[in-house]
Structure 1
């Protein structure tokens, strides 16, 4: 019985999967065209930090206001 199920599954599997899309990543191994300075790095990391931690910090700072039901 298991041989029959294995045969059916083997033949049905490609039809059930459908068409698969093969994705290839574009990876470049050359060095950057321009060097990024220290100040640009600090500004970029600061903005990412603000964008990620800013909203959660705002919510935590105003948590007592959110607890009140008016």
Structure 2
């Protein structure tokens, strides 16, 4: 069983080693247009406000009275 595992590992390792991974074209920096700044603000708010609400009220959710 171990020999089969070693063969499979070598085969997978050889296939991964020969693949060419394209370089990502990522540009970081401040948004150049106001539309981008507004979109970023809305996206961050859409994720952070509900998460913050849940974390702030976590104890309330844990101790919900049973009816």
Structure ranking higher on relative contact order (CA contacts 8 Å, 6+ apart): 2
Q: What TM-score does the superposition give when structure 1 sets the normalisation length?
A: 0.45
Q: What TM-score does the superposition give when structure 2 sets the normalisation length?
A: 0.46
Q: Which has the larger radius of gyration?
A: 1
